Structure formats: structure tokens, C-alpha cells
Amino acid sequence: MNGLSKLPEERVKGSISFDDGKLSTRIKDISDNGGFKEKLSDLGHSLYTHTVDELHPFEQLMKEVNKQIGKEIPFENDVYKQAWLFRGATGKAQALVEFGDKAAGVKGLKAILEPIGIKERKNFSAYLVAKHDLDFHANGQKATFSKAEDVATLRKFEKMKRSKSCRRITEIPTALIATACKVWNVKA
């Protein structure tokens, strides 16, 4: 079945990455796609990034930039060093998404998704993606799917709209903005 003949909700689900992120999948990609030496180097950087320093790609970038221009970029313009400074804000944001903020009455993502069965999570994800895509249509922005596909997907999973999880998940971005404003001492 080609992409155009799929049901709208299946096209929406097809755009969502449900990748397992396993090392075995990454190794299989290397052996299937050729360029073994380069892929092995990429795997080494990927392992280092995932196990030691998630900002490692920024460090590589800055090393290459410094090499190309023949001098070291000043601290305030160094993406890698600036990213390290903002790790505190990132940690707070990640904690909020994972565990919520009891003081603000916001549940973490796991607690929000818990009432939704594993089999229903893909449908829930498709519903949220279609709902978000309709926002693009409403704002005159380039959407991923046609408006008809988004509407069809929303109709297919209409029961998701009434779920407590659907209402609660929208609280997370609001809480993230509030947290960022506190960290950076700015007004929303």
C-alpha cells in the first residue's frame, strides 16, 4: 500500500517515531547501510554522547569551527560551553516532564500516560499530532498533513479528547515556560 492510499490516522501514526533506541538497532543500521568505517566512528561518538556527555556533538562542532578559523572562539560565543551553563535549566525541565510539579498541580508525563493502555498510546499520539497539526492550519503555517487528514484522525480517535490525560498533557508546556522564566529571571 503506498503512502497516499493509507488511512489518515495511519499516515499520522507513520510520522511519529516509535523507535526503540536500542544499540542493536543502531548496529544493524551500520551493517545494512555500508560505509562501515564512518558508521563505526559515528557509533563511537553516539555511544560517548549517550553514556558520557550528551553535549558531545556541540564539542565536536566547536573543535571543527576553531580548527577552521584558526583560533578559539570566545567563551560567550562557544555553543558547547554555553550549553553546559544551561544544563541546570535543562535538568529542571526534564524533571518537570518526568515527575511533574506538585506545587503547580502538574503531573509528570509517565503519570499522565499511565491510564492509557500501551495499545492505545499510538492512537493517543496520533490524536495529539493531528490536533497540533490543525493549529498549524489555523495559524496559516505549513502543516504536515492535509486538514482533511487531521480532521479524519481526530474523528477516529474522538474519545481521546474527553480523556483526563489529554487535558493534563497540555499543562506541561505551560509549566515548562513558567520554569524557564524563573530560571532565566524573565517575565512570560
Segment 54-108, tens digit of pLDDT = 787 888 889 999 999 999 888 878 888 878 777 777 778 888 888 888 888 999 9
What letter represents residue 128's amino acid? Answer: L
Binned at pLDDT 50, 70 and 90, residue 5 comes out as: low
Give tens-digit pLDDT for 129-166: 999 999 999 999 999 999 999 999 999 998 887 788 88
- Give the Cα separation of 40 and 35 in Å (integer): 8
Beta strands in the chain (DSSP E): 100-101, 106-107
Whether this model's pTM surpasses 0.85: no
The rounded Cα 101 to chain-centroid distance in angstroms is: 20
Give tens-digit pLDDT for 12-23: 888 777 665 555
Enclosing H/E stretch for 5? none
